[in-house]
Amino acid sequence: MSTLSQACQAALITGLAMATGAAHAQEATVTDPYIWLEDVEGEKALDWVKARNAVTEAELADTAEFRQLESQIRAILDSDAKIPYVSKIGDHYYNFWKDAQHERGLWRRTTLESYRTDAPEWETVIDLDALNKAEGENWVWHGADCLPPEYQRCLVALSRGGADADVTREFDLAAKDWVDGGFVRDEAKGGLGWIDRDNVYVYTDFGDGTMTESGYPRIVKRWTRGTPMAEAEVVYEGKPDDMYIAAMHDHTPGYERDFVSRTLAFYNDELYLVGEGGALSRIDAPNSANKSVHKDWLVLELREPYEAGGRTFPAGSLVAANFDAFMAGGRDFTVLFEPTDTTSLAGVTATANHLVLNVLEDVKNDLRVLTPPADGSGDWARSDFAGQPEGSVSVSAVDPDHSDAVWVHADGYLSPATLAIAEVGQAPQVLKTMPVFFDASTHEVDQFFATSKDGTRVPYFIVKPKGLALDGSTPTLLYGYGGFEISMTPGYSGSVGKGWLEKGGVYAVANIRGGGEYGPRWHQAALKQNRHKAYEDFAAVAKDLVARRITSADKLGIQGGSNGGLLMGNMLTQYPELFGAIVVQVPLLDMQRYHKLLAGASWMAEYGNPDKPEEWVFIQTFSPYHLYTPGKDYPPTLFMTSTRDDRVHPGHARKMMAKMLEGGEDVRYYENIEGGHGGSANNKQAAHMSALAFTFLWNQLND
């Protein structure tokens, strides 16, 4: 499916009171004594970081137990027995692989016949460690886009240290070498996309004024081989307060089309069809809808009610119409999915002749197959997905233009992942199984529901020892996110198993509002002035765990990153009495300045604009940096971030740590010097940071 807008968004979220809020915002910005810590790579700031790191390392990492756990997690991440996930490019199946010998990774390929065996024969295409050594760089793999139908030329994206900003370089798959004089895009947020062998779409930093206020491309151009990028033809120019501008060519045989995407904010975008002479025709569907085009069909995932063709389709529905007829003014839609109180659409996968829907019912997957009418009119045929495996299930197309084969991935909290291949309508054939990384026989999984402050029923999963004594004595780790319509479904984690479950701990995951577990309504219920509902949900889950005597407040630790780090910050400052320890990872915390730091401006649709007095009134109620009150009783806390995170600014964690440290709180800090928003650039760093978090939590909850 042509899902450019989705990719860009991945990539890729009273008068006196208002006046008081505005004055407070202005004063705080001027008087913030820790603003110097926003200087990401400044010498003074980095010296502070290194000093804090040393204290944390001395406390947590200088024991034999820590080194053993770190080694165990590293072995899991480096395991040669992990599933080597592949994508089909031409006649080969490509995999990006990291292990102990290849810290930055190998891009390699094999055949499907070989991949089916227990020991596939891999051919190395790019050795990133060797490339780094040869070029004196610290490249991190960001992916490759290869040009059909020959699949000889690829646009390879590489990031320094794992940042979102990257470079793109043209690579020849036949020669297995970089193309001399080929397309090259310098380091920036953005990308290149193939039109044909001699033309690409380029959206990147072209100089002053060419990036949005969110730090993403504002202009997309058509660039011809052999000409300077500066002379490339402008296809579309967005506005400074847009979020992301991009374009793509749909290479589907017989359906070649070009599109421009204008993303204004998360879940707010416009999609244009590029016509002859570069004329743009807007696809007149709601900005809030996910718009996908595949062959004859326009498919819309609705986030708001939509009136078309004399009908009203509810939010959360999936509807389809003939694309050409729609562009000609027709509005004859077919309903492919309509949500209920307990179901939502988790995903849509297009194959050559079918759509596979992934539906969540109370956060449990159910696959369904839809087949469009052969003549383009009439009803779509509906059937169950043959042989759906147990557990959390996801599907992706092997080759959506030419086949009905799909990859089927399944796992669970205690069930290692399996990867199968299936022709739609036939039972999947398991090709690979993840090894067992911890003893799961001692634990079991349950799902419970907590009641939030406003009466909303909030689901959560719990992984607990069998025969658990309900006396409140078990160390419990509760994880949450609650934002950007992202669902937290069950999944296997060797690190959690080794670092927590094998020790006898309980692991829980809260499916709070702000996420996508019940579709757009679940997400929209916690936006902006309603953000507090996500925090009330998480607090309700914490209280429910204690009420069930699974744990107690002093035995309950919590963890979350990014938007989940903001969640942790609010738990810390608003509900400190509920927890025994908190790990706050790559967080947003200063919600007064978040929109001025790196990609922060792109999230104002999620949180609001603090520069507007009427919005700062509610934003300040969930800004942990401003909610912190010295002298209040706070639980022990570990802040973790990355210097090279160019999405969520490390200044958030730095400043909060500095403020609380000065207040005499029980806080510690660790910042990885590279690693991007994921926190680490290789398995060694990832293992170290995981071991720090687990060690801190276990130590605190077992005092």
Task: Tell which residue, 136, 259, 130, has the closest CA to residue 203.
Answer: 259
Annotation marks residue 677 as catalytic: yes
Contact by Cβ (8 Å): 458, 512: yes
- The residue behind tokens 């070498």 is 177
> Among the options 677, 680, 688, 690, which is catalytic?
677
Annotation marks residue 562 as catalytic: yes
User: Which ranges of 32-168 does DSSP label H, i.e. alpha helix?
Assistant: 43-60, 64-78, 112-115, 128-135
Task: Return the axis-axis angle of helices 532-547 and 563-574, rounded to nearest 10°.
Answer: 70
Whole-angstrom Cα Rg for the chain: 25
| d(C-alpha 427, C-alpha 378), whole Å | 28
Cross-sheet strand order for the sheet of 233-237: 191-196, 199-203, 219-224, 233-237
Assigned token pair, 240: 């400074």
| CA neighbours closer than 13 Å in the CB half-sphere of residue 182 | 16
Per-residue CA distances from 293 to 1, 7, 148, 212, 252 (Å): 6, 14, 18, 26, 10
| Torsion angle in degrees (nearest 10) through CA of 240, 243, 244, 245 | -50
> Among the options 562, 602, 642, 680, which is catalytic?
562
Task: Tell which residue, 270, 265, 259, 261, has the closest CA to residue 243.
Answer: 265
| d(C-alpha 322, C-alpha 296), whole Å | 6
Contact by Cβ (8 Å): 657, 667: yes
Contact by Cβ (8 Å): 173, 151: yes
SS3 of 263, please?
Answer: strand
Pairing mode of beta strands 244-250, 233-237: unpaired
| d(C-alpha 140, C-alpha 125), whole Å | 15
Q: Omega of the bond prior to 636 within 30 degrees of 0, cis?
A: no
Contact by Cβ (8 Å): 586, 501: no
Which sequence positions are flagged as catalytic? 562, 677
